[in-house]
């Protein structure tokens, strides 16, 4: 059946809406809603009836229905004030009031061309099709266009292409950390921040949108000014912000706004209501994502909608533990990371199918392994958490990405390559996958591979702190000190309070011969994290390369007194500066035993040049799989 409404034809057989012969983009649920209202235009249709008919009785919010009504009106050039097409009887339902005519013939027969337009099966059908109302307009337009193009000799082609490209720019959305309005802001801030993360995840299910990952989005927590956003991520096109209001009775109201970063114009705003102690509150994030996407004319397929409204867990107690765990993990220091592992584990105990909690625990363990504890003791915990996530969903790209990076750190080269590629095949937009590839290439000495992977990672998640740190090391360890310094300075400007960035940068500055600046950077690293052993080790190296070797041992002893994991690899470098080669090899062998992640760089690390001819060094490379024979067998 074809319904004619003003200039539109709604073809129920081919699930298409046409205006002047051209298909109009419409989200499937919006199409179903329009058809149902048209088919029952003789009466008022209640909201409950629409929930049952369009959503098959699935539990969705009133806001979802309102957003779809809004999208239907927008398609016809209608709105809530005019109500020329669809009217609302507040509290009761909706009615389709525009004039509708019906046609039995189908202008879009069964077979479709490659570009999505239908093609008649035979000549007779073609003639009928050609002289239908829509086709006449299309055909005459085609003839006029051909005449124009022939007359002008395609002079305006480039200009037209540029305009089309400009109109088809993919929206790039930054979701700012949501504000809190409550009598107890401290209590509800983790909840508001988790809603922000969930929102970002929801947008990630919509391929027509590009969204800034959480790790970069939260860099704007304390400065949401447009100037700061444009400076740090200039390619962002739209910004979503919201205020979360939680009453003493647990009622939640989220007031969301979407605006253009370029013009500052408000595009969409709406308030959403929920209850903290009800799983329905999860639909708030989904409703916001759906409403914002529809306001940008983004089509949402049934599969995308299913992902949008999927619940992270049905167990609210587990979710509360997960929220608290995320808050602890984001502090990026040792004790909070350990606490986050406990919280994620408790959440999993309450809901063994809590996929996101498994992934979060894997990430927490990987960060502990990378910075704070003996890697050999923690790697099995990363693997176990990833296996838990994959048992719930075998295609979890986030879990595979985290595991792939952990395997690189543990110099399990073949496993790393396989897992990273598996992660990328599931989702090519994950920064940890690209960082894993960058470090893999750094271990093998592939400078071009390092730069390409880092470039991709920086494009995906430009404010990611873990990327900021390891990206510098990857460049410095393959000998490109200029690129390493440029990277470090840019990242320090983005994250001026992160100790490891200064400590790491001091190394490439020393290797470049900029000793005074190296010492200044290393001291800044110590000032920001006086209880972090690596900061003191980096300062010892900076003094040593500057010629003041007397300061190395006191600084190393100061680091030992902190009684936490002290990277034996970096400590070995300090002893090499002192020309204590045997002690350096003792520490390097200890690094092998603990599977120190820094050994990834050992084959090409410029700081190890003094011992490259020592036969013990070749044995070391063989143990970590970076000898000539092993490297020749690896894929890249």
471 within 8 A of 435, measured Cβ to Cβ: yes
Tell whether 117 and 135 lie within a shared domain.
Answer: yes
Q: What is the pLDDT of residues 366-391, one digit of tens each?
A: 999 888 888 888 999 999 999 999 99
23-32, 341-350, 352-361, 615-624: lowest mean pLDDT where? 23-32
* Residue 176 and residue 216 in contact, taking contact as beta carbons nearer than 8 Å: no
How many Å apart are CA 129 and CA 59, to the nearest integer?
A: 42
Question: Are residue 256 and residue 279 in the same domain, yes or no?
Answer: yes
Task: Report, as an integer, the average pLDDT of 78-88.
Answer: 85
151 and 181 share a domain? Answer: no
Establish if 630 belongs to a structural domain.
Answer: no
pLDDT of 64 > 60? The answer is yes
Judge whether residue 57 has pLDDT over 70. Answer: no
* pLDDT value for 303: 81
126 and 180 fall within a common domain? no
Q: What is the pLDDT of residues 423-464, one digit of tens each?
A: 999 999 999 999 999 999 999 999 999 999 999 999 999 999
Asked, for residue 440, whether it belongs to a domain, the answer is: no
301 Cβ contact partners less than 8 Å away, ≥ 6 residues apart = 27, 28
471: its two tokens: 């990206």
Last residue of a domain, one of 261, 276, 311: 311
The mean pLDDT of 554-581, rounded to a whole number, is: 94
Rounded distance, CA 589 to CA 616, Å?
10
Pick the more confident residue, 118 or 625. Answer: 625
Give the model's pLDDT for residue 104: 67
Residue 498 has pLDDT above 50, yes or no: yes
- Percent of the chain predicted with pLDDT > 70: 88
The answer to whether residue 85 sits within a structural domain is yes
pLDDT for 58: 65
Specify if 29 maps to a domain.
Answer: yes
pLDDT score for 144: 47
Task: Give the angle subtended at the CA of 100 by the CAs of 99 and 103, to the nearest 5°.
Answer: 150
- Residue ranges of alpha helices (H) inside 116-156 are 123-130, 133-152
Check whether residue 34 and residue 141 sit in a common domain.
Answer: yes
pLDDT at position 285 is 81
Residue 411, pLDDT > 80, answer: yes
| Residue 79 · residue 88 · CB < 8 Å | no
pLDDT confidence band for 14 (50 / 70 / 90):
confident
Given a contact cutoff of 8 angstroms between Cβ atoms, the answer to whether 533 and 559 are in contact is: yes
271-280 tens-digit pLDDT = 888 777 666 6
Is the pLDDT at 300 greater than 50? The verdict is yes
- Asked if residues 390 and 374 have their Cβ atoms less than 8 Å apart, the reply is no
Question: Going by DSSP bridges, is the β-strand pair 172-175/238-246 parallel, antiparallel, or unpaired?
Answer: parallel
In terms of Cα–Cα distance, which of 160, 201, 196, 158 is closest to 177?
196
Give the mean model confidence (pLDDT) for residues 402-414: 93
Predicted confidence band of residue 163 (pLDDT cuts 50, 70, 90): very low
Please check whether residues 63 and 133 belong to one and the same domain.
yes
142 in the same domain as 107: yes
Q: Is the pLDDT of residue 140 over 60?
A: no
* 158 and 81 housed in the same domain: yes
- Cα separation values, 358 from 67, 340, 430, Å: 33, 12, 17
**pTM as predicted:** 0.72
Do 87 and 103 share a domain, yes or no? yes
pLDDT score, position 509: 97
Q: How many domains does the chain have?
A: 2
Q: Last residue of a domain, which of 271, 287, 311?
A: 311
In this prediction, residues 126-154 reach a mean pLDDT of: 44
In a domain, 190, yes or no: yes
Residue 187 lies in a domain: yes
Mean pLDDT is lowest, of 117-126, 146-155, 581-590, for 117-126
Based on the domain organization, do 212 and 106 belong to the same domain? no
Burial of 507 (0-12, 13-18, 19+ CB in 10 A): buried
Residues 224 and 245 occupy one common structural domain: yes
Mean confidence (pLDDT) of the chain:
85
Question: CATH code at 145?
Answer: 1.10.10.10
- The yes-or-no verdict on residue 283 having pLDDT over 90 is no
Angle, to 10 degrees, between the axis of helix 283-295 and the axis of helix 62-75? 10
CATH of the domain at 177: 3.40.50.10610
- Segment 3-9 shows an average pLDDT of 90
Q: Judge if 156 and 187 occupy the same domain.
A: no
- Domain range for 184 is 172-311
Per-residue confidence (pLDDT) for residue 279, from 0 to 100 = 62
Residue 543 counted as domain residue = no
pLDDT attached to residue 150: 43
Among the candidates 167, 191, 218, a domain finishes at: 167
Is the residue at 108 inside a domain?
yes
- Residue 280: the pLDDT is 62
């Amino acid at each position: 059946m074809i319904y004619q409404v003003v200039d539109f034809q709604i073809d129920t057989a081919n699930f298409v809406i046409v205006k002047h012969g051209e298909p109009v983009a419409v989200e499937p649920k919006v199409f179903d809603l329009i058809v149902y209202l048209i088919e029952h235009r003789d009466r008022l249709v209640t909201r409950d009836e629409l929930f049952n008919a369009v959503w098959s009785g699935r539990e969705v919010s009133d806001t979802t229905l309102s957003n779809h009504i809004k999208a239907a009106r927008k398609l016809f050039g209608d709105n809530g004030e005019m109500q020329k097409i669809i009217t609302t009887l507040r509290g009761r339902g909706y009615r389709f009031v525009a004039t509708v005519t019906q046609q039995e013939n189908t202008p879009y027969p069964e077979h479709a061309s490659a570009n999505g337009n239908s093609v008649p099966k035979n000549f007779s059908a073609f003639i009928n099709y050609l002289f239908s109302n829509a086709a006449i307009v299309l055909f005459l337009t085609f003839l006029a266009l051909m005449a124009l193009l022939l007359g002008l000799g395609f002079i305006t082609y480039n200009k037209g292409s540029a305009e089309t490209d400009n109109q088809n720019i993919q929206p790039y959305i930054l979701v700012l950390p949501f504000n809190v309005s409550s009598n107890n802001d401290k209590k509800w801030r983790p909840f508001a921040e988790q809603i922000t993360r969930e929102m970002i995840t929801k947008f990630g299910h919509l391929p027509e949108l590009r969204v800034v990952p959480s790790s970069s989005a939260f860099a704007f927590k304390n400065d949401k000014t447009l100037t700061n956003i444009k400076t740090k991520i200039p390619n962002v096109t739209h910004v979503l912000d919201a205020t979360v209001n939680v009453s003493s009775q647990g009622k939640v109201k989220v007031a969301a706004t979407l605006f253009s970063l370029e013009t500052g114009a408000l595009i969409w705003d709406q308030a959403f209501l929920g209850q903290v102690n009800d799983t329905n509150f999860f639909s708030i994030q989904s409703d916001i994502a759906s409403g914002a996407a529809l306001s940008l004319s983004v089509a949402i397929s049934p599969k995308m909608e299913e992902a949008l409204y999927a619940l992270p867990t049905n167990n609210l107690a587990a979710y509360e533990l997960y929220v608290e765990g995320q808050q602890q993990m984001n502090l990026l220091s040792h004790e909070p990371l350990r606490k986050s592992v406990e919280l994620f584990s408790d959440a999993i105990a309450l809901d063994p199918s809590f996929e996101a909690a498994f992934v979060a625990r894997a990430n927490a363990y990987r960060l502990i392994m990378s910075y704070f504890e003996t890697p050999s003791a923690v790697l099995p915990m990363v693997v176990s958490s990833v296996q838990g996530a994959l048992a719930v969903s075998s295609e979890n790209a986030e879990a595979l990405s985290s595991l792939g990076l952990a395997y690189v750190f543990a110099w399990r080269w073949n496993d790393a390559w396989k897992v990273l590629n598996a992660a990328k095949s599931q989702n090519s937009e994950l920064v940890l996958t690209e960082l894993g590839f960058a470090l893999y290439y750094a271990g093998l000495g592939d400078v071009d591979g390092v730069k390409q992977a880092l470039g991709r990672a920086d494009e995906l998640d430009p404010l990611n702190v873990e990327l900021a740190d390891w990206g510098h090391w990857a460049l410095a360890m393959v000998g490109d000190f200029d690129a390493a310094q440029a990277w470090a300075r840019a990242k320090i400007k983005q994250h001026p309070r992160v100790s490891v960035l200064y400590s790491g940068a001091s190394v490439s500055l020393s290797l470049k011969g900029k000793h005074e600046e190296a010492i200044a950077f290393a001291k800044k690293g110590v000032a920001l994290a006086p209880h972090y052993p690596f900061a003191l080790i980096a300062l010892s190296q900076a003094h040593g390369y500057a010629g003041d070797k007397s300061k190395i041992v006191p600084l190393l002893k100061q680091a030992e007194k902190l009684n936490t994991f002290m990277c034996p690899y970096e400590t070995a470098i300090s002893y090499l500066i002192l020309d204590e080669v045997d002690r350096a090899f003792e520490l390097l062998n200890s690094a092998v035993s603990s599977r120190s992640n820094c050994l990834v760089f050992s084959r090409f690390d410029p700081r190890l040049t003094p011992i490259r001819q020592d036969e013990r060094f070749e044995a070391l490379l063989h143990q970590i799989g970076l000898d000539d024979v092993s490297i020749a067998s690896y894929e890249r």
